[in-house]
Amino acid sequence: MTVLKRCREVMRAARLAVVGAVFLTACSSILDVTLPGKVTSDDLNDPALAAALANGVVITFECAWTSYVAAANALSDEVLSASGQANTNVWGLRGILSNNVNLLDNCDANAGGYAALVPLQQARVLADNAAAKLAAYPDAVVTNKAFLLAQVKTYGAYATLPLGEGFCQQAFDQGPLLSPAQALAVAETRFTDALAAATAASNADLKNMALAGRARVRLDLGNFAGARADAELVTAGYVKNATRGATERQRWNLLYELQNNDGSVVQRHVTIAPAFRDVQWQGVADPRVKVTATGQLSADGVTPWFKHNKALSRSDPVLIASSREARLIIAEAAARGGDLTTARQIINDLHTAAAIPGYDSGNTATQAEIITQIIDERSRELFLEVGARYSDHLRFRATQWNIPFRGEPGSVHPNGVDQRGQQYGTTTCIPLTDAETLGR
Amino acid sequence: MAVLGRCFVLGVLGLGFALPVGAQRSLASYSGQTPDRLLEKPALLSVHDVSLTEALSRLSESSGVVVAFSPTLLESDRRKVRCSCRDATVAQALDRLLAGTSFRYTVRDGQVILAPAPAATRRADPGAEPNHELTLAGISDVMGGSVPRLSKVEQDLSVSGSVVDRSTRQALGGARVSVAGSTRSTQSDERGQFRITGLSSGEVTLEVVRIGYQRLVQSVRAGDTDVRLGLIPQVVKLDELIVTGTAGGQEVRALGNAVSRINTAALTEIAPQSNVQAILATQVPGLAIQSAGGNVGSGGTFRLRGASSLALASNPLIYVDGVRVDNNQAANSPRALTSGGFIGGDARYAPSRINDLDPEQIQSIEVIKGPAAATLYGTEASNGVIQIITRRGKTGKPEIQITAKQGANWLPHPEETFQSKYYKSAAGAIVEFNLLRNDEQVGFPVSQYGSCPEPYHQEGDRCKGSPFTTGLSSAVNASLSGGTDVVRYFFSGDVEREEGTVSYNWQNKVSTRANITWTPSEKFGTDIGIGFTRSRLRTQAPMNQPIIVGLDFSCPTPGCEPGRNLPTGADGPFRGYQFVLPEALQNRVESYDDLNRVILNSTFRHKPTSWLTHRLTVGADFGDDRLSGLARRSEGVFRTGYFLPNGARALYYRNTAYASADYGATASFKLGKDLGSETSAGAQYYRKRTTINYSSAENLAVSSLETLDAGATRTTSEDYIENKTFGAYVQQQLSWKNRLFLTGALRGDDNSAFGTNFDFVLYPKFSGSWVLSEEPFMKGFKPISTLKLRGAWGRAGQQPDAYVALQTYRPYSGDAGLTGLTSDNFGNPELKPEVGQELELGFDAGLFNDRIGLEVTYYNKKTRDAIIPVSLPPSTGFAGTRLLNLGEIQNKGAEIAANATLYRSRAVTVDLRSSVSFNSNELESLGAGRAALTATQFNQFHVPGFPVASFFARRVVSSTVTNGVATNVMCEGGDVIAGTGNLSRGGGAPMPCINAPQVYMGGVLPTWQGATSLTVAVGSHLQLFGLVDYMGGHNQRQNEVSATFATFRNSKAILEATDPILMGNIANTFDSRLQLGLMRMGYAKFRDLSATYTFNNSLARKFGASRLAVTASAKNLWTVWQSQTDLFGRRMKDPEVRINGTFFAGDPGGLVGNQQDAWPTARRFLFTVRMTL
């Protein structure tokens, strides 16, 4: 009887415990947590976030663009790798495999390597999301809705440009793998959409930006007439920069931080290549390419450090688009189309602006020679800017104007070994990360 | 001699109370202890010319029959005896050994007890030796042995003395000492002291019982005041209580799983350790702790039974007196990143929070290893649980213990640890350059700084010396404990200073603890405790490890050779150091970790009825950790090559608040004569909250300014993390005759980090244990004195990180105050905890009369729904990884722990403890359609069929080297594993490296580890202790080795440029370079050597103490063995060092196998004085 009585007491206690547990579980608020520093996806339905969404696209793109340009510089023949840091050195040695960790970095990791792919995709998707949310918000509650729409579309289009231009293949929204040309075609469509939005918003700045971007995409795609048409509509003197700042890491100018940091020896991952250290035109120093021999060593401790002048602080802006680039697009498109006069004129105009002698042999130059000259002019005019040189490496690859990458025959290191005896890899275009391609 | 004589005479006085020999044999027969079976056992004894004491000890060993006797009494017999008794019975051997003495034997309670025969009997004994009689008479004469004098002691007498561990000589409190055949008994106090009064004169037989020790029966004489009762530890402590999560704990006999229990108080007495991790590192089979470095303040990585997760932390839960506390293994911030590098603490060597606890305040530590045992702990317990039990007051008068330590830490032969570099002279000769030797012999001009910076000294116009110093270590601990049956108390305070091997690495720490136990009645009791730790650690890494970086990166080629007028040249102002001059930085860059931590615990126990116990534990752990870094703005000579010439300041605050409430009830009752039942139920609620504030400033205006405000550019950030768990369990245990136990349990948990589409998780558990040796049919099986079979199966979880289930966006700053939102976390609403499921089988055995203890465990642990950080396709627009419950990981292994008394005599006891554990880790699945994942940036991949985070890289197998350049470089071929891109098991025919796959190069996890210690107790006062620990089967990339080949090119082999593998790797850049740094990390180290001398009581009393002991100990004396010492001639600095993986994003589990800037472990000497007042 005693046992039975105790069993009953135990059962009663167990029942109480279970009821208590159920009560506590039902009181779900005991597991509620606060999230003071984050915004959930549900929160984005609030129209009050319209400006924040649009700003997010701009800010993310500005970081992404800076990253891409820095990465493009590292791959181009404008610099030599001088990094003592293994991950960064791999970029300089053109040894990027599809499992390279930097291909998965976001902007917060920028100080340690070349993040390009992820931030560009982030900006692109943020732009799409923002455009969709903005479209859904009631007009009456969103100030400057047309401008915001144009802004997110233009920046979103510009984010798509390098994804086609610099990568071996690409994917959007986990869709099919696209060739560079296919990806650039997507970019062109987005620029067209952006142009319409900018026009609807009557915003000249965004319109110029969209035109300059579409001109560049069309040049990449070989649509020279279309490229010229767009470029000719870019207002003279137009300059569009990505703002940079010295505070938050994602706002640092990486052309300075990773490639020109005179305040830190460990951040000098590149030095300027010999061909760009003393650039002259007919014996006159070309002011468009300013390089300083510092007498110091780079981050690897062995390579002399030659410093450029394109970024002298973390807060120096980074060029996105300009009428200078547009003029060179016109020149190239004209030359390609047989209009050598226009091409020559543009070259000479640029020389005049730089206060160096004119393009003397221009009058007798062949189409091929003029295109060669335009490539040279682009390397001077857009030295270390907008990824132009890297773009030219890729655009003219396997053509008569082929620009060899470092380590290839005809380059500064024709035997495949750099100034430190380190072996070059085979990277040309940037491979798409395994995270995108595997497991499909 | 006089004392011995008195003892003997007093013993003789008891003869009148003893029975004739024949009667004794008869008594034994009636005792029900089957004496004949004991006495008829084979003696297996062979002794020649040894003392009687030793002969009897050996008989006890060889026969397995406990022969209890008073060494004090036997000491008077100094004859040498011999007995070739291999074929004799125990009785025959005893008869031979005792022939001619006054001693006789009897059997009681399963033991043979020796005692002097009654005088009358002795006189009547025809076998008595006349000369022995004469001796006795002689002694009696010396004592003035007349009958009237002897009668004086037939008064009310007492016996007093101490109870000690016979192996460790540690005082044992809580031992029940009783007088056989009477009701008189007492319990030893915390100092092991006891006293029994009211005895009549003559011999008494004391019986001593204490949990965890073999029962001792020893004859003494009434009136003895310095009796030393040496208890022999049980090798299998079946009756010890273990904290298991239920209300009352459980006896070991009822547990179906292995639980390691460390008697911290005893261990720290014979081998003082600097922190809790050092204690755990060698004591628990299956627990791998990989040190983060040899500097003061560094923590280490915990891992119990392999790696169970790919994404989540590997640290076990830590409880202090039942309260869950911060268990971060590396709680410091990532280093504050500034333009020129890093300032602040280096997270690679950050402290582990468990080391905030003071070992002197810990009584014991219990380690619950896997899901099978940790089910009741629920959703965060699949990595195991560490229960820390702090010391409690014992009933008795106030007792003060004072412990003082003084010692030193140093790096032996740093010029060999930091190896020479090489450069090529202008003539092409390869020249050795040892920077530290150069500093000793050549130094630098005094004029460089105006005076010689410490620790350099001036010789003429030059400063010479070494940047390394000998750091001092000192600590004082005082505790006060005591109390009554109602209230007991323990107060402890500890002040310590530990200095590292450089002047700017030290830690000052104050720890206090107050524990009050209030037991107003048998039904109610309360434990309340508060522990406080205040620490200031000046970290060794104020900025990128000045010395280590300077040395590891020193003397690059080209650039080091003299005559080139380069600052980094051996003859330049940097003397060959790279980037930094340590002596210039040591006082210009500072980093402190300031910690204030309070742990509160309160437990309320109530036993309303005889069968019901319930308790509530409520507690909290508040931590306030402030990390500060300052790099002063530098001018002049200090500016050159300096990472941060313009100065920087960084502050990082980590504020943690852990709160826990744990209620449990256990009902125990008999269901029948032999069947018992124990039903437990309980519920827990845990909340963790962490707030992080980070601020930094750069470009300080002038060198005298040190605050954030002084910086021209400033940044700041704040983070807040909160996590809550609610869980409940019910457990039913049935027992049969207290030797067969079956247990079933079920726990349910919900956690705030689970996905919104996932409700809660259930964890079941079943276990059984069978104390086989207590079964009647095992009674006569002599070799096995104790045997418990056990088995357990259970599940426990590991929760995902807070917030990771949610899709989130975060603020982003743009130009001119522009703020926007950018994508942050992709989220996974389906996310649930990963579940560890484990089967554990094993046995605990005491062999050969408990001379050898054996604990053998096999486990098979499988993690299901393993959370896998799958890199997000960038086209999703989100960065980083998404956590998915996809994987399966298996850890199989065995743990073997043995302890044995190799030799035991009155004078010397030699105990051996040894453990070894094996673990086989394999990633079984990454989910459908996924064949590989990149684990880290160091060529580590998660590939099914291989250990987690294995190394894969192109392996160069041959090349042709001509004039230092490799051509025709061939790599190992092999079939590419489908879906992995380019990963292979290898084993294929060599092929050009450019086309070769990345082949398996080894795993990163240790596959075996263990420790062996020897304790030698000499006499009653001296103890020697030595311990060797070992670990192996793992690999690690030694980047500083790799860099000497691939980056700085300053090793001898790279300058010789003849090795085809080395040069082949150089030619094939990229991932084949892993081969240049990947090394096998197995090692065995002579970790501890110590000697402890416990002064006798009279000497201790001269110092005003009741107990006085001194210990001299040394640590890290010798690396006995390394599985690989060098790679192409370059040695690694220290095989045991592994940096904390938390430095690397996405590696909370510590799977990163890359080592750079390692600090080797320091050698340590410590002198300790312990005094009890």
* Residue reference for tokens 């293949």: A169
Check B879 against A106: CB less than 8 A apart: yes
What pLDDT was estimated at residue B118?
54
Interface touch B821/A118, C-beta < 8 Å: no
Question: In this complex, which of B559, B723, B823 lies closest to A122 when CB atoms are compared?
Answer: B823
Q: Per residue in A393-420, pLDDT tens?
A: 999 999 999 999 999 999 999 998 888 8
Residues 35-74 of chain A whose Cβ lies under 8 A from any Cβ of chain B: 35-41, 43-44, 49, 51-60, 62
Of A76-85, B176-185, B576-585, the poorest mean pLDDT is in B576-585
Q: How far apart are the first and last CA of chain B?
A: 30
Provide the 10 A C-beta neighbour count for residue B134: 10
Q: Specify which of A170-174, A298-302, B162-166 reaches the highest per-range mean pLDDT.
A: A170-174
Picking from A433, A161, A36, the residue whose alpha carbon sits closest to that of residue B876 is A433
pLDDT for the residue B325: 94
Q: Which residues of A touch B870 (CB under 8 A)?
A: 435
Q: Does A245 contact B815 at a Cβ distance shorter than 8 Å?
A: yes
Q: Is the pLDDT higher at B734 or at B1066?
A: B734
Which of A:316-335 have CB within 8 Å of B? none
- Quote the percentage of chain B above a pLDDT of 90: 40
B934 part of contact set with chain A, CB < 8 Å: yes
- Which DSSP letter does residue A417 get? B
Q: Determine, for residues A434 and B877 on separate chains, whether the beta-carbon distance falls below 8 Å.
A: no
Contact A31 B724 (CB under 8 A): yes
pLDDT at A159: 98
Residue B476 · residue B467 · CB < 8 Å: no
Q: Is B826 on the interface with A (CB under 8 A)?
A: no
Helices (H), B921-1008: none
Highest mean pLDDT among A133-142, B154-163, B177-186: A133-142
Does B51 or B653 have the greater pLDDT score? B653
The alpha-carbon gap from B730 to the nearest alpha carbon of chain A, in Å, equals: 8
Q: Which of B1065, B1069, B1078, B1154 to mutate to test the interface with A (most CBs of A within 10 A)?
A: B1069
* Inter-chain residue contact A129 with B671, CB threshold 8 Å: no
Give the pLDDT confidence of B256-285 residue by residue, as tens digits. 988 888 888 888 888 888 889 888 888 888
- d(CA A266, CA B1045) in angstroms, rounded, equals 19
Q: What residue of B is the nearest CA neighbor of A316?
A: B815
With an 8 Å Cβ cutoff, is B568 touching chain A? yes
Beta carbons within 8 Å of A1's beta carbon, 6+ residues apart:
none
Tell me what the pLDDT averaged over chain B comes to: 83
Return the structure tokens found at A39. Answer: 């915004």
Express each pLDDT in B683-706 by its tens digit. Answer: 999 999 999 888 888 888 888 888
pLDDT score recorded for residue B344? 62
Per-window interface: A 338-367 vs B, CB < 8 A: none
How confident is residue B1138, by pLDDT bands cut at 50, 70 and 90?
confident
ipTM: 0.92
Q: Which of A44, A95, A247 sits opposite B713 (nearest CB)?
A: A247
Query: Is A211 an interface residue toward B (CB < 8 Å)?
Result: no
Least confident of A206-220, B131-145, B350-364: B131-145
Tell me: pLDDT of B1072 over 70.
no
Nearest to B556 among A18, A301, A435 (CB): A301
Most confident range (mean pLDDT) of A12-26, B727-741, B805-819 is B727-741
- What is the percent of chain B where pLDDT is above 70? 87
Rounded mean pLDDT of B953-977? 93
Q: Is B1160 helix (H, G, I), strand (E, B) or coil?
A: coil
CB-based contact A3 B930, cutoff 8 Å: no
**Minimal C-alpha gap between B980 and chain A (Å):** 8
Residue A297 touches partner B, C-beta closer than 8 Å: yes
Q: Does B674 touch chain A (CB under 8 A)?
A: no
Q: And the tokens for B782?
A: 């002599």
Residue pair B514/B323 in contact (Cβ under 8 Å)? The answer is no
pLDDT digits (tens, 9 = 90+) for B769-781: 999 998 988 877 8
pLDDT digits (tens, 9 = 90+) for B1097-1120: 788 888 888 889 999 999 999 999
Contact call for A53 and B821, based on CB within 8 A: yes
Read out DSSP for A355-372?
A: TS---GGGGT--HHHHHH
pLDDT at position B186 is 86
- Maximum CA pair distance of chain B? 113
- At residue B22, the pLDDT reads 34
Beta strands of A122-172 (E only): which ranges?
none
CB pairs under 8 A between A and B: 287
Residue B580 pLDDT grade (very low, low, confident, very high; cuts 50, 70, 90) = confident
Query: Out of B802, B930, B934, whose CB is closest to A33?
Result: B802
User: Which pLDDT value is given to residue B20?
Assistant: 33
| Confidence at residue B1088, expressed as pLDDT on a 0 to 100 scale | 95
pLDDT of B124 strictly over 50: no
The C-alpha angle B355, B360, B362, rounded to 5 degrees, equals 75
Looking at the complex, does the CB of residue B728 fall below 8 Å from at least one CB of chain A?
A: yes
Determine the angle formed by the axes of helices A388-395 and A204-221, rounding to 10 degrees: 30
Calculate mean pLDDT across residues B1126-1131.
94
Q: CB of A177 within 8 Å of any CB in chain B?
A: no
Q: Is the pLDDT of residue A16 over 70?
A: no
The DSSP secondary structure of B405-464, one letter per residue, reads EEEEEE-S-HHHHS--EEEE-TTS-EEEE-HHHHHHHT-EEGGGTSSPPTT-EEETTEEE
Residue B520: other Cβ atoms inside 10 A = 11
The A residues from 387 to 406 touching B (CB cutoff 8 Å) are none
Q: Give the confidence band of B586 by pLDDT, cuts at 50, 70, 90.
A: confident
Where b means 16+ CB within 10 Å and e means fewer, A194-222 reads bbebbeebebeebbbbbbbbbbbbbbbbe
The reply to whether residue B878 touches residue A122, judged by beta carbons under 8 angstroms, is yes
CB-based contact B315:B303 (threshold 8 Å): no
Strand B317-320 and strand B385-390: pairing?
A: parallel
- A119: chain B residues, CB-CB within 8 Å: 879
Say which of B814, B825, B880 has its CB closest to residue A62.
B814
| Residue B966 bridge partners (DSSP) | B961
pLDDT score of B542: 54
Measured between CA atoms, how close is A288 to chain B, in angstroms?
Answer: 27
Query: What SS3 string covers B426-439?
Result: CCCCEEEECHHHHH
Chain A: closest CA distance from residue B42 (Å): 48
Q: Are A305 and A298 in contact, with CB atoms under 8 Å apart?
A: yes
The 3-state DSSP class for residue A189 equals helix
Nearest to B681 among A3, A14, A261 (CB): A14
Whether B1046 contacts chain A with CB within 8 A: yes
Q: Average pLDDT for residues B914-920, to the nearest whole number? A: 96
Residue B1136: burial class (beta carbons within 10 Å; 0-12, 13-18, 19+): buried
- Mean pLDDT, chain A, integer: 90
Q: Do B726 and A30 touch (CB under 8 A)?
A: yes
Nearest chain B residue to A177 by CA: give it: B875
* Position B146 confidence tier, pLDDT thresholds 50, 70, 90: very low
Q: Which residues of A touch B612 (CB under 8 A)?
A: 9, 13
Q: For residue B947, is the peptide bond before it cis, meaning its omega torsion is within 30 degrees of 0?
A: no
Residue B107 has a pLDDT of 72
pLDDT at B29 over 50: no
Using the beta-carbon criterion (under 8 Å), do B874 and A246 form an inter-chain contact?
A: no
Q: Name every chain B residue with its beta carbon within 8 A of the beta carbon of A267.
A: 339-340
- Please report where in the chains the tokens 């820095």 appear, as a residue: A70
Residue of A nearest to B803 (CA): A35
CB of A182 within 8 Å of a chain B CB? The answer is no
Q: Do A59 and B814 touch (CB under 8 A)?
A: yes
Q: Could you read off the pLDDT of B779-789 as tens digits, one per residue?
A: 778 788 889 99
Contact B685 A300 (CB under 8 A): no
Mutate: best of B823, B1055, B1147, partner A, most A CBs <10 A: B823
Which three-class secondary structure state does DSSP give residue B758? Answer: coil
| Residue A181, token pair as written in the block | 């040309």
| Cβ proximity of B161 and B225 under 8 Å | yes
Is the separation of the CB atoms in B531 and B353 below 8 Å? no
pLDDT of residue B224: 84
Instruction: Identify residue B479 by its one-letter amino acid code.
Output: S
Quote the pLDDT of residue B640.
Answer: 56
Chain A: give the shortest CA distance to residue B665, in Å.
9
The model's confidence at residue A206, banded by pLDDT at 50, 70 and 90, is: very high
pLDDT at B864: 92
Task: Tell me the Cα Rg of chain B.
Answer: 34
Tell if the CB–CB gap between B337 and A111 is shorter than 8 Å.
yes
Among B1091, B1101, B1089, CA closest to B1171: B1101
Helix, strand, or coil (residue B112): strand
Residue B89 has pLDDT above 80, yes or no: no
Q: Does B729 touch chain A (CB under 8 A)?
A: no
Say if the Cβ atoms of A53 and B874 lie within 8 Å. no
Could you tell me the pLDDT band of residue B11, with boundaries at 50, 70 and 90? very low
pLDDT single digits (tens) B833-881:
899 999 999 999 999 888 899 999 999 999 999 988 888 999 999 998 8
The pLDDT score that the predictor gives to residue B122 is 38
Provide the chain B residues 1136-1165 that lie in CB contact (below 8 A) with chain A: 1145
